[in-house]
Amino acid sequence: MHAEVQETWAVPAADGPVSGRIRLPASKSITNRALVLAALSDRPARIANPLRARDTLLAAAALRAMGTKVADDPDEAAVSISGFISGSTSGSTSGWLVTAGQPPAGSRVTVDVGNAGTVMRFLPAVAALTSATVRFDGDERIRQRPVGPILAALRDLGARIDDGGRGAAPFTVLGHGRVRGGAVTLDASGSSQLISGLLLAAPRFDEGIEIRHQGPAVPSAPHIAMTVRMLQAAGADVIATAWSGSYVPLFVPPGPPQGSGARPFCWRVRPGRPWTC
């Protein structure tokens, strides 16, 4: 056996006090939620200062593939940032202008989710609202990440999904333009995104949704709270009758009949906190 050779790295040290200013990157979680809400809005929406990273760019590309227009916002002033942007170490990022759309009825669409759990779990419900056949796949690692509970839940709510019985990627959503909605129970102990992925699209379901979690504690419960706050800010009603790590009943009534579906007009993305403009 050969002894392992470990490379050493000389840690830089300052000779005196160091001062500087940095700009924290925007939130990936907020950016992806804003993208989905904007794609389901009935009017154009702006997302100011979105995070442009692999996961959010994959989400934007997936929505484009499903007919939504996601374009640089010509009215949003560029924000200079320091950090990695598409492989660069410096540059600027502008906002996005998002206009909801649909792929041609009967078309076949492929969505690359990479290794982004938010894309894999947030967009099947959006795909089910189209009239296209949408195939989801990505990196090898994504095929090992939990998605089965949300696919099963969507089936219970009236969506048609073919996953070959795997409960994992790759899978295909056979959209027929609507999702019935209603009450559903799932085990979201694998990821809070399994609940958020249903909540985000629920105002567009015919009957809205009533979600109950049954199983071990849901991780990252604050991210569900983030989803609820952003839905409410977008004009959707969300009723949480109780809350704990093991039992989460949430009710989202259908939006369109009251004209109060997800209607974000402008999101400003900041580190860890969404704001409407």
pLDDT digits (tens, 9 = 90+) for 61-110: 999 999 999 999 877 644 333 333 333 333 346 899 999 999 999 999 99
Average pLDDT over residues 187-205: 96
Which pLDDT belongs to residue 1?
46
Residue 255 pLDDT level (bands cut at 50, 70, 90): confident
pLDDT over 70 (residue 256): no
Residue 9 pLDDT level (bands cut at 50, 70, 90): confident
Which pLDDT belongs to residue 3?
53
Q: Judge contact between 111 and 65, C-beta under 8 A.
A: yes
Give percent above pLDDT 70 in the chain: 83
Could you identify the residue written with the tokens 């990252």?
A: 220
Q: Pick from 127, 128, 121: which is nearest to 150 by CA?
A: 121
pLDDT over 50 (residue 145): yes
Amino acid making up residue 194: L
Residue bearing the bigger pLDDT, 203 or 8? 203
The model carries a pTM of: 0.84
SS3 93: strand
Looking at the DSSP assignment, which residues form a beta bridge with residue 71?
97
Average pLDDT over residues 112-141: 98
Which pLDDT belongs to residue 243?
53
Distance in angstroms between the alpha carbons of the first and the last residue of the chain: 62
Distance separating alpha carbons of residues 276 and 96, to the nearest angstrom: 14
Q: Judge contact between 150 and 121, C-beta under 8 A.
A: yes
Beta strands in the chain (DSSP E): 45-48, 69-72, 79-85, 88-93, 96-99, 108-112, 133-137, 161-162, 171-174, 182-186, 209-213, 239-240, 250-252, 266-270, 273-276
pLDDT over 90 (residue 257): no
pLDDT over 50 (residue 160): yes
